[in-house]
Chain A
C-alpha cells in the first residue's frame, strides 16, 4: 500500500490517502450511514472509496429524515436498534463538537391523553432507565402546561427525555463526508454501482464504467441494499420501503414548542410528531405507509390530512395554512423490522441494511460496529498518526449579530450581498457551499438553506443558479435541481 498526498483545497494541509492497486474498503451508499462509516474509516491508514448514485451525499432517504437524535427509550427492547441508539445519541454530541455542525439538545416529550397511555409512558420510562438513558422524568399536566403552553390541554401526563436532540440530517452528512474527504476518502458521487464481482480473494466494484478492485464492500445502499447484495449472489436480503411524509411550517410558528412532541407510541409506530427543527422552524410528520415503488417519493392528500389532524391533537395551534413545503422519504425496512448488520457468506461483503428509524441516531454507533467487523475479518486497522483538523462550520449570516456581520462583511463584501431573503443567506455563504462541493440547487439549499424559506426559492432560485453556473462555467440550462435529468430551464432554440 503506497501513500499519496491529497491536497485539500480549503486547508492546503493535505490528508494522506493510502493508495494501493486494490483498495481496502468500498462503501456503497452515501446516506448518513455511509457517511458516518466513511468518516470513521478515514481515521485509519486505509484506502477507502464511497460510491453514491445521487449527485451529492445525503440526497436519498437521509435528506427526508426528521432530524431527531433519539434518546433511546422509544426503541423496542431486544433489537439491534435498541443496542445502538443510546450509544449513537452520545456519539452525535461528540461529532457535533468535533465537526461543528448544528446540534440542539431540545429534549423530547411523549404525551399521554388517557389512563392507558399514562401506563405506557411509565413502561417506556422503565425501558429507558434499563437502557441507561439519563434524565427521564414523568410530568403532570401542570408541568406540561407551564413548560409547553401550546401542547393540548387534554394531556394528562408526559415523559420527558432530556437527552433527545435535533440536527439537520443533510448538514450532518455534509460535515461527515467533508471531514472524511479531507482525510483521504475517495468520494465518487453520481456513481451508481452497476455490479460487484468476486475475483479471487477480493471483490470488484463496477460503477459508471470504472472498475474498482477492493478487499471489502460495505453495503450501505439503503432502499437498494437488496439489489446490491444480489450483485454478489446473495438473495436472502429483502428490503421494503415505508414512506413517511413530512410537512414544514412557516417560521411564524417558531417556538410554538421547545421539545419534540411525541404521541404515545403504538406497537408499530412512533406516530406523528411535532418537531422543532434545528433551524427553528416547525415540522410535522411523518406518516408510515408501506409502498411497492422504491422511487415513490410522492406526498398524498390523505397523508397530509392525517399528519395535520394528528399534529393538532398534540398541539392545537398547528394548521395547514402555515404549510410552506412538504416532502416524503422512504425508510428501508428489513423483514423483521430490525437493522441487518454483519458479514455475509461472501467473504469481504458486509451488509449494513434495513437502517430505518432510529437509523440517523444510530449511524455513528453503526460506524463503530463496522470498524469492529472489519477488524474481526482480518483487515489491518492502523490509526493515522495525524488527522486533518475539521473545517470550521460554514458561516450562517442569519445566526450573526449585526456587529458580527459588519466585521465579516468588512473582510468579504459577499457576506453583505443577500441572495435568499427569507432565510437571509448571502453570496458569501453560497460561494463557500460551492467550494465545499455543492453542485446542484438542492445541494446549495441543503447546505445554506437558500430557497428553504417561505417563498420556496421564488426569489433566490435564479440567483443561486447563476452563482452555480458561474462557478462551473456553464450556461443556466446546465444547472440542475439535483443531478442529471432534473434540469430547470432550457435554452431558447434560435430561429434563424
Chain B
C-alpha cells in the first residue's frame, strides 16, 4: 500500500481473525473506509502458525487449517477498498480516537478514526509468571514461540521436550513435535483436569501415546547454557508440590503452555475499564468498551477456545463499530450481568432487553450435570461443563419481557439426576 488516509470510518488494531472478522462486520454495517493495522508482514495473526486443522466447523461449516481460515476471511475482504497496513504497529489511540501508527514504510502517521476496534489478541504466560525454580538456560520457551519456529521459520526447538501445561497450544505442540521426531516424555498439568479441549487430548496425546500427568508440575530446571533436565512433582489439593516424590526427566527443551493473557497495553493506556477476571475490557452488548467509539473483540476481551467464536464476536463488534462511525448506533444496554455460583466470567458485561444476545460464560469448576439459571427468568440444563470450554447462552427478548430490574445473576448449579428428569 502506498500511504494512509487521514480519516477512516473504522480503524482495526490487529489483523488476526478478530480484526478481519470485525472488518467484515463493519463493511456489513455500511462503513467502507476501513484500516486494519497489523504488526506482522501479513494478516492472519496466530492462525498463520496454526497449520493443523480443526478450525471453522462452526463459522464456515467445514474443517479448515489456520491459514485456510485466515485466507477465507481475507477473501471476504478482497474487492473492498480497505487499507491493510502490515508490518505496522499502533503506538497509541487517544480519547479522540486519533490513532498513531509506526511503520517502516510510512514512518510515524496519525489517522483519525470514526470508531476503533481493538483486536490485539493475547500473549502467552511465561515461566516467570509461575516462578519455576532452577537455572535460566536456553530451551525454555512458550509453546506458541516453539510453534512459530517449527511451522513458520522451519527450525526445531530441541530433541527431547517436556511440556508444562495442557492448554490447547501445548497439546497441539506435543503432537507437532512428535511428528518431527522430537521425543515428548510427557505433558504435565498442575490442575486435576486438562486445560485444553477434549478433542485435542484425544487427537494430540492419546493418538501419539504421549502421557498426560495431571496434578503434577515442574519444580526445577537444570542446565547452564541449555536445558539438561527438569524435575517434576505431584501436587496436593492446595496445588503445593510434594517434593518427596520428585522425578528427574532428561530433556533439552521445556515448553510452557500455561495460559493466555489478553494483550491490553493499549487499552490500559486509553484508560479503559478492565475486568480483573478476564483481563480484558469491560464491554457492552455491542462490544463497546468504556470509551465511546472504542470497541473490542476476540482474545483481547477474553480468551476463547475456538476461533469460530472469535469471529462471531468480532463480526458483531465490527458491525456496531461501523454503525457508530456512520451515525446509526444502537440504544444503550439496560441490564448488567453478574457472575453467580460457579461462573468465573461473563462477556458481554451488559445486555439490552430489546435484542437477542449471545453471552459467553466460563465456569470455575467442572460439573457433570447442572442448571444454568439467568436470574429467575430463564433456566436450562447443561451437561459436562468444564473450565476449558466456554459456555454460550442465547438471551432472547422474550426471556426478559416481564423483567424490570437492572441486573441479572447467572448461576450454574449442580442438578441431581432424579429431581429434574
Q: Are A462 and B148 in contact (CB under 8 A)?
A: yes
- Determine if A418 and B39 form an interchain contact, defined as CB atoms under 8 angstroms apart: yes
B133 part of interface (Cβ distance < 8 Å): yes
Quick one: closest B residue to A397, CB to CB?
B102
Question: Contacts of A484 on B, CB cut-off 8 Å?
Answer: 225
Per-residue contact bits, chain B 201-234, to A (CB 8 Å; 1 contact, 0 not): 0000000000000000001111011100000000
Task: Pick the contact of A487: B87, B89, B138 (CB < 8 A).
Answer: B138
**Do A455 and B134 have beta carbons less than 8 Å apart?**
no
A416 in contact (CB, < 8 A): yes
Any B CB within 8 A of the CB of A194:
no
Judged by a CB distance under 8 angstroms, whether A486 is at the interface is yes
Bound Cα distance from A314 to B148, whole angstroms: 42
When distances are taken between beta carbons in the complex, the residues of chain A under 8 Å from B158 are: 490
In this assembly, does A203 line the interface, its C-beta being within 8 Å of a C-beta of chain B? Answer: no
Q: Inside 8 A of A480's CB, which chain B residues have their CB? A: 138
Interface string of B317-339 (1 = CB under 8 A from A): 00000000000000000000000
Residue from the list B104, B131, B156, B221 in contact with A417, Cβ < 8 A: B104
Q: Name B131's contact: one of A326, A402, A462, A489 (CB within 8 Å).
A: A326
Q: Decide if A278 is an interface residue (CB 8 Å cutoff).
A: no
Q: A298-B134, A324-B128, A456-B128 are in contact. Are A483 and B155 (CB under 8 A)?
A: no
Contact partners of A490 in chain B: CB under 8 A: 155-159
1/0 per residue A281-304: CB within 8 Å of B?
000000000000001111111011
Residues of B within 8 A of A492 (CB): 154-156, 180
* Residue from A324, A476, A487 in contact with B126 in the complex, judged by beta carbons closer than 8 Å: A324
B131 and A477 contact, CB distance less than 8 A: no
Contact B124 A458 (CB under 8 A): yes
Binds B, one of A39-47, A361-369, A388-396, A403-411: A403-411
Closest to A252 in B: B268
Q: How far is the CA of A242 from the CA of B139 in the complex (A)?
A: 26
* Neighbour of A455 across the interface among B104, B126, B219, CB < 8 A: B126
Contact A406 B108, CB 8 Å, known A324-B128, A416-B102, A492-B155: yes
Q: Mark B131-146, 1 if CB is under 8 A from A, else 0.
A: 1011111110110110
Asked if A402 contacts B155 (CB within 8 A), the reply is: no
B127 partner residues in chain A, CB cutoff 8 A: 325, 456
1/0 per residue, CB under 8 A from A, across B337-373: the answer is 0000000000000000000000000000000000000
A427-B104, A490-B156 known; A297 vs B39 contact (CB < 8 Å):
no
Nearest chain-B residue to A455 (Cβ)?
B123
Question: Would A409 and B102 count as touching, CB distance under 8 A?
Answer: yes
> B149 within 8 Å of A by Cβ?
yes
Using a Cβ cutoff of 8 Å, how many contacts connect chains A and B? 136
In the complex, the chain A residue whose C-beta lies closest to that of B110 is A402
Q: Which residues of B contact A427 (CB under 8 A)?
A: 104
Cβ–Cβ < 8 Å partners of A150 in chain B = none
Of A301, A325, A486, A491, the contact of B128 (CB 8 Å cutoff): A325
0/1 per residue, B23-59, Cβ < 8 Å to A? Answer: 0000000000000000100000000000000000000
Residues of A within 8 A of B275 (CB): none
Query: What is the number of residues of chain B that contact chain A, defined by CB distance less than 8 Å?
Result: 50
Partner of B103, one of A304, A320, A417, A483: A417
State whether the Cβ of B105 lies closer than 8 Å to any Cβ in chain A.
yes
A366 to B89, CA, bound (A): 46
Interface residue? B83 (CB, 8 A): no
For A296, what are the chain B residues with a Cβ–Cβ distance below 8 Å? 135
- Measured between beta carbons, the chain A residues less than 8 angstroms from B149 are 462, 489
Most chain B CB within a 10 A radius of its CB, from A296, A297, A427, A486: A486
Contact of B136 with A487 in the complex, beta carbons under 8 Å:
no
Q: Which residues of B contact A247 (CB under 8 A)?
A: 131
A139 in contact (CB, < 8 A) = no
B147-169 CB contacts (< 8 Å) to partner A: 148-149, 153-159
Which A residues are CB-close (under 8 A) to B136?
297, 327
Partner of A323, one of B105, B131, B133, B153: B131
A488 at the interface (CB under 8 A from B): yes
Residue of A nearest to B225 (CB): A485
Report the minimum CB–CB distance from A288 to chain B (whole Å): 17
Residue from A458, A482, A489 having most chain B Cβ neighbours under 10 A: A489
Do B133 and A299 touch (CB < 8 A)?
Answer: yes
- Tell me, yes or no, whether A481 is within 8 Å of chain B by CB: yes
Most buried by A among B148, B153, B225, B268: B225
Closest to B108 in A: A406
Quote the shortest CB–CB distance from A256 to chain B (angstroms): 16
- For A409, give the chain B residue with the smallest CB separation: B107
Q: Are A413 and B128 neighbours in the complex by a CB distance under 8 Å?
A: no
Interface assignment of B91: CB less than 8 Å from any CB of chain A: yes
Query: Do B108 and A489 have beta carbons less than 8 Å apart?
Result: no
The 0/1 profile, CB within 8 Å of A marked 1, for residues 225-263 of chain B is 110000000000000000000000000000000000000
CB-contact partner of A402 in B100, B137, B141, B154, under 8 A: B100
Give the residues in chain A near B126, CB-CB below 8 Å. 324-325, 455-456, 458
B107-A304 in contact (CB<8A): no
B78 within 8 A of A: no
Flag if B128 contacts A326 (CB, 8 Å).
yes
- Say yes or no for A421: interface residue by CB 8 A criterion: yes
A414 contacts partner chain B, Cβ-Cβ < 8 Å: yes
Encode A13-53 as 1/0 by CB contact (under 8 A) with B. Answer: 00000000000000000000000000000000000000000
**B92 proximal to A (CB < 8 A):** yes
Contact A405 B102 (CB under 8 A): yes
A325: chain B residues within 8 A (beta carbon) = 126-128
- Residue from A252, A402, A462, A486 in contact with B145 in the complex, judged by beta carbons closer than 8 Å: A462
Give 3 closest A-B pairs by Cβ, nearest first. A485-B225, A489-B155, A481-B138
Q: A298-B133, A323-B128, A490-B158 are in contact. List 5 more A-B contacts (CB 8 A).
A: A299-B134, A416-B106, A485-B225, A486-B138, A486-B226
Q: Can you name 20 A-B pairs with beta carbons within 8 Å?
A: A297-B135, A298-B220, A299-B131, A299-B133, A301-B131, A323-B131, A327-B136, A418-B91, A421-B39, A426-B102, A427-B104, A462-B145, A462-B148, A462-B149, A462-B153, A481-B225, A486-B137, A488-B141, A489-B153, A492-B154
B interface list, Cβ under 8 A from A: 39, 87, 89, 91-92, 100, 102-108, 123-124, 126-129, 131, 133-139, 141-142, 144-145, 148-149, 153-159, 180, 219-222, 224-226, 265, 268
